[in-house]
Structure 1
Amino acid sequence: MFDRPGVYTSEEIFELTEAPSSLAIVGGGVIGLEMAGVFEALGSKVTVIEKLPRILASEDAELSQELVRNYRKVRFMTETAVESLEGEAGQLKLSLSTPEGLAELEVAAVLLAVGRKPNLPAGAGELGLELNARGGLKVDANMRTSCANVYAVGDVTGEYTLAYVAAREAEAAVWDILGHSHPVDYAHIPSIVFTQPEIASVGDLPQGLELKSGSFPVTALGRARTMEASTGAAKVYVDEKDRLRRVSLMGPNVTELVSWASLAVEQGLTLAEFLKPCYPHPTMAEMLKEAAEDARGLCLNSVPGGSSTKAYLASCRA
């Protein structure tokens, strides 16, 4: 269905010499949202089509919803699937299944951003290499496959299709080959999304575990004001022992802050330990400090009427 002129992958789309007048992006994940921002800025009329109930389902729900509101010129269609595709480059017609019934969408180009399947090496089956649930090569934390002396790293495992994760996996494999164990800790690998504004997160929210949270909106941050940034927030989650379990960020350059958050979550720092360093002012890093203080009930810079990020951002949009 998608093998036709005018339909592009996230690599092929950069071969275009001019932006299409209209673009349908199939997939509302990381790549889909990053490309939506790019082509919106280039003047394309962008529609994002997502099968799940919300965009960026892997990220904090409140922050992903705020990002959608920030992309004012982009049309988002959730709980929607592509049933068929007809036409040619410049005049493509998609038949869509939506919660309201069947619909049609005409666009100049289509971008596929629904993920990729691992490209397994020839002979994998003959070697007896086991596969995982994603159809990639099954490996342990040291990147060993089910066959002795055979290692696999990167996209071929089908787990984390990120360049920085592949580099870390390669390090683990080499260390293991040399007789040292430095396994990959997937639970504390940060996620980053280069949208406008950026999103970054690390850690998880275990089901059944009651967590305490704290938040702080970008609009109440001095450095953000000097950058004329008005969308985003920092959110932290801690367990019953006040140990950091997850950090979610949205705002300018937050992808530069998540490494410190990743170390803090991986080390299981308490809020008191996380707040021990002196956070310089005015910087974006202060959003981490303010959110952590809010979780302790000690945020001196909480916004008027309480420190609810959602309520404050809503008041700013009103």
Structure 2
Amino acid sequence: MDADVVVIGGGPGGLSAAETAAAGGLKTVLVESSEVGGTCLNRGCVPAKTWISAAHLLKNTRLAAEMGLIKASSESEPGGMALDSAGFAKLQSHMREVVGVLQKGAASNLKKAGVQVVRGKAAFLSKKEVGVNDGQEVVRFKRAVIATGSRPVELFPKLPGFYDTDDVFGVPDFPRSVAVVGAGAAGVEMATFFNGAGCRVTVIEVMDDILPFADAEIRAVLKREFKKSGVNLMLGAKVAGASSQSGRCALELEGGGLIAADATIMAAGRKPNSVGLGLDKAGVGSDVRGYVNVDGSMETSSGGIYAVGDVAGKARLASTAHREGVVAARNILGTPDRMDYRVVPNIVFSDPEIACVGPTEDDLARTGEEIKVGRRHVRALARAQAGAEITGLFKVMVGKDGSILAVHIASPSATEIIHGAAVAMAAGMKADALAEVVFGHPTYSEGIILAAADAVGGRPRHA
């Protein structure tokens, strides 16, 4: 089979690369060993947000009961409603339906674009050939895009009741207690769901803090909320051993201590899917961790071969993978383009949600740059008081010249609000100009302009 472009992997980066190349008139073949959509759609972002949306519904029901708007069942656990096995089964059915709809949409988009999909596992045979399913089929190409994604790091061999962030969505029964190993974005989201669903949750993190990309004040908000909601957050703790017996998981900690739970979720990072790709046969270089080396155009050390998404080891987000795929395809089409990671939002669907764009205050302090910091507490917003969700903080960091260096938020709807800040930063808007923009009232979004006004010494118009 001959192709102008072969794309290996059908996640966000592979899909955007294939569709962009095909739209440009190139004969494009996409090789995918499983369902299109990659980790995000099938085993990550989408299933996780479906779960967390359900937990948010439960939270709202509890809040309604606390306000006396509805009567909580006498059989409910203290504090209100909790998910039971029957409810979890319905949630799983809903999650599979959501994933199925999006899978069909992704496949339809490929078909409309004219991309030929080949099912199987691909590996390079040379700088111009890819073999599928151990060479049973050969694709001869002019250009290639590697978009094979990543997989969870294995801390120890899998045991009954132990899951990683890929296979946890297939958990057969709803656990009443959960241990989460890792407090990055995935671990925090797992803790948020299971805690919100009524489980006893312990989070074990080897580092001294959670969410390293978030500002310290923003992290502090979430840690307080975890504590208030009963999450046992163990920072600076390392798992030394694991066992499973009689349907229960046990984690032995270094220095002593044992954590027992119905289920354990390993969320201690991911590693690239680059082994077995035949990179050496294609002349493609990688680093010691297996991430494929790329330049700003997403091209590898082998001319004409590109890499995007997690396997390229840059931002490792579905959002950036999509953009990287477009950049790679544009360069293949002869339209020069380069990636710019300076304004990339990081979002976490915790409670409250966390969203950040730009460095932390501590990061900026280490550069020695003179900055001004503006803050607005969520409780000071009329929308927060009206909705009875008053926890959080808006924080804006401003440079000496008035440029917006970073915005970090802990708030309801933070994962939506942050994009207004990202657009302002990408457009080069100054903080004083942002503070003068009229936002709707009452909204959580006002927190951005009020924090910006605080940074530049302006007078807030309203809360």
Report the TM-score, using the length of structure 2 for normalisation. 0.62
Q: Partners in 1 of 2:350 and 2:301 — Cα distance? A: 38
- The aligned runs of 1:1-318 (5 Å cut-off) are 1-71=156-226, 72-88=229-245, 90-97=247-254, 101-120=255-274, 122-132=277-287, 134-204=289-359, 205-206=363-364, 207-300=367-460
CA distance in 2, matches of 1:89, 1:273: 62
String of CA shifts for 1:168-224, please: whole Å, max 9, x gaps.
Answer: 110101111111122121121110001111111101243222211000000000111
SS in 2 for 1:67: helix
Shift of 1:65: 1.4
Tell me the CA shift for residue 89 of structure 1. 6.8
CA RMSD, aligned part only? 1.8
> Does the 8 Å CA contact 1:19/1:42 hold for their aligned counterparts?
no
Structure 1 residues 219-228 or 132-141, which shifts more?
132-141
8 Å CA contact retained: 1:190, 1:259: yes
Structure 2, unpaired ranges of 5+: 1-155
Distance 1:132 1:248 in 2: 31
Work out whether residues 89 and 109 of structure 1, in 8 Å CA contact, stay in contact via their aligned partners in 2: no
Is residue 130–residue 145 contact of structure 1 (8 Å, CA) maintained in 2? yes
The range that moved more, 120-129 or 237-246, is 120-129
CA distance in structure 1 between the partners assigned to 2:357 and 2:310 by the alignment: 20
Amino acid in the other structure paired with 1:298: G
- In structure 1, stretches of 5+ residues that fail to align are 304-318
Aligned residue for 2:11?
A: none
Distance 2:175 2:331 in 1: 48
Over residues 127-151 of structure 1, what are the superposed CA-to-partner deviations in whole Å (9 max), with x where a residue is unaligned?
2322136431011121101101101
What is the CA distance between 1:27 and its match in structure 2? Answer: 0.3
Q: Are the counterparts in 1 of residues 221 and 410 from structure 2 also a CA contact under 8 Å?
A: no
For the Cα contact (< 8 Å) 1:6–1:89, is it kept in 2?
no
8 Å CA contact 1:19–1:44 kept in 2: the answer is no
Instruction: Give distance in 2, aligned partners of 1:57 and 1:4.
Output: 29
**Is the CA contact (8 Å cut-off) linking 1:203 and 1:265 kept in structure 2?**
no
Do the aligned partners of residues 89 and 69 (structure 1) sit closer, same or farther apart at CA in structure 2, a change above 3 Å counting?
farther
Larger Rg: 2
**Alpha-carbon shift at residue 257 of structure 1 (Å):** 1.5
The CA deviation at 1:166 is 0.9
C-alpha contact (below 8 Å) 2:160/2:244 kept by paired residues: no
Which portions of structure 1, spanning 4 or more consecutive aligned residues, are displaced by more than 3 angstroms?
299-303
The residue matched to 2:384 in structure 1 has which SS? helix
Amino acid at match of 1:36: A
Aligned to 1:309: none
3-state SS, counterpart of residue 240 of structure 2: strand
In the superposition, the TM-score normalised over structure 1's length comes to 0.89
Question: Higher mean Cα deviation, 76-85 or 120-129?
Answer: 120-129
Higher relative contact order (CA 8 A, sep 6+): 2
Percent identity between the two aligned chains = 36
- Secondary structure, in 3 states, of the residue corresponding to 1:49? strand
Give the 3 Å change call, closer, same or farther, for CA 40–275 of structure 1 in structure 2.
same
- Secondary structure, aligned partner of 1:68: helix
**Whole-angstrom distance in 1 between the partners of 2:183 and 2:284:** 32
Which one has the bigger helix percentage? 2
CA contact (8 A) 2:292 2:313 kept: yes
Measured after TM superposition, the shift of residue 301 of structure 1 is 6.6
**AA partner of residue 201 (structure 2):** V
Q: How many residues align?
A: 300
Contact 2:424/2:434 (<8 A) preserved? yes
Q: Using a 3 Å threshold, how does the CA distance of structure 1 residues 75 and 265 change in structure 2: closer, same or farther?
A: same
Distance (Å, rounded) in 1 between the aligned partners of 2:440 and 2:390 = 21
Partner amino acid, structure 2, of 1:229: E
How many angstroms does 1:241 deviate by? 0.6
Letter in 2 for 1:227: G
Counterpart CA distance in 1 for 2:296 and 2:243 is 44
1:216 partner SS: strand
